[in-house]
Amino acid sequence: MDMQEFALFMKLVSEEYKLGDEEISRLKNRLMADDQEFKSVWNSFQDKAKRPRKGVDYFKPILKELLS
């Protein structure tokens, strides 16, 4: 796992979705445990940034699942 990518992802997601400390900790622990899951989530987050905004956030359900 590229720790710089991971740190960037955590920073961007926590700022964009206004995550609290507990949510950041849960997300960090889950994604650090599984490199493949992180890569998949990171790609989904990057795809979200590339799509034109039409009022639908396709990443939010993914984030919600990760935090549950």
Question: What is the C-alpha separation between 67 and 27, in angstroms, rounded?
Answer: 6
Residue 52 has pLDDT above 80, yes or no: no
C-beta atoms surrounding 60 within 10 Å: 12
Give the pLDDT band (50/70/90) at residue 57: confident
DSSP per-residue codes, 10-36: HHHHHHHTT--HHHHHHHHHHHHH-HH
Amino acid in the structure at residue 68:
S
Question: What is the C-alpha separation between 51 and 64, in angstroms, rounded?
Answer: 20
Give the pLDDT band (50/70/90) at residue 58: confident
C-beta atoms surrounding 28 within 10 Å: 15
